[in-house]
Amino acid sequence: MSDPLTDPADLWPSPPTAKRGEPQRWVWAAMEPPERRLRMRELAGWVDWLRTTFELHNQITHCWYLHSAVVEHLTALYAGWMRTYVGEEGPARELAEADWINTLHAFTPRFQLAACATGRHQEAPPVVPPPPGADEAFEMYLSVSETITMAAVHPAAAELGRREAALNAPL
């Protein structure tokens, strides 16, 4: 593995089957195991770089990869970092780099896992199964709830009407 502190962009593989310019997709569940392993190694190298560069040693635990929510947040940050810094084609934004850094700081509290803060991994608590009848109650809600069944009304209908009228104005 190359040194991610020198050039983390070196971690980005170019799959031989990908068309040039095709965006990389990071849906973990949709990846075959060999691709998942490759991508996780790639993400791990970048996370090491991130922890060092932004001094996040105490915020991103060593067992981050064992926590699916943290993996998803780091994946989103990595994909955004690639678009921002590596230059995937797309519409340019004047403050893309600052936006990415602001997003990093907004995500940072989500990396902090109190259970693992001591350096020892702790499993997440077990998922509580839904109570009996929960599926039926949900279906009933979808059928009769006023929130779901009321007629559609846009809260800014007047503004939408003005914009549509402006677009359709005679020349």
Report pLDDT digits (tens) over 67-121: 999 999 999 999 999 988 887 555 666 788 999 999 999 999 999 888 888 888 9
Which amino acid appears at position 61 of this protein? Answer: T
Provide the token pair at 149: 């069944």
pLDDT for position 154: 83
Provide the token pair at 141: 């809600």
Q: Is the pLDDT score of 20 beyond 50?
A: no
Residue 41 is classified by DSSP as H
- Total residues found in the chain within this entry: 171
Rounded to 5 degrees, what are φ and ψ at 81?
-65, -40
Cβ–Cβ < 8 Å for 30, 1? no
3-9 average pLDDT score: 61
27-38 average pLDDT score: 94
Mean of pLDDT over the chain? 85
Note the pLDDT tens digit of each residue in 55-64.
Answer: 998 899 999 9
